[in-house]
Amino acid sequence: AVGVAFLQPSPAFAAKYGGFGAGSPEVLDPKEAIVDADILASASVQGALKGIKGYLSTVLELKSTLEKDSQADIGPSIRRQFDFSKLRSDLNNVNEAFDEDTQRGTDRIIRIILQDITELEAANTQKPGIPRSERRLGIMTAKLTKLQTAFEDYLAFV
């Protein structure tokens, strides 16, 4: 006799992002963050904070560019405006103003920002002469929206 087993699919439990971690124990509500006012007021942290606000502005500009021209090559802007060493340095400088518990959450947001920029650049890659599909445009727009949210979430801590 041959037996047949029926396997029931199990639900996927993906990590959630948004709403400050959607219940993640690592991401605090910004209202509960402990910020060292002296460190936050320092010239290096204020310069880094200005840089982070500039990155958010760049994300909004890139979204606007794609809304106006779905075939725009935003790769050069991504590489020029999001220099990884400067971006990481700016995020880490501002992070120094937070206590350890807050840093655990903001570190997660920093990792998301860096990953999203990498994925955005990869999604932007096009073969010469082949137009960007609606699906790829949707992916890029979603990445930019996620990146915008991540920068806004990070800035909510200061």
pLDDT per position as a tens digit, 55-97? 999 999 999 999 999 999 999 999 999 999 999 999 999 999 9
Whole-number Å distance between alpha carbons of 78 and 33:
31
Residues of the chain with pLDDT under 50: 6, 10, 12-24
CA atoms of 31 and 96, how far apart (whole Å): 17
pLDDT of residue 23: 46
State both tokens at 123: 């999604």
Give Cβ neighbours of residue 84 (< 8 Å, ≥ 6 apart).
Answer: 114, 117
Residue type, 96: E
- The per-residue pLDDT for 17 is 46
- What is the reported pLDDT for 26? 60
pLDDT at 151: 97
Closest C-alpha among 96, 151, 144 to residue 123: 144
Report the 10 Å Cβ neighbour count for 151.
23
How confident is the model at residue 50, as a pLDDT?
A: 97
Distance CA 142, CA 87 (A): 21
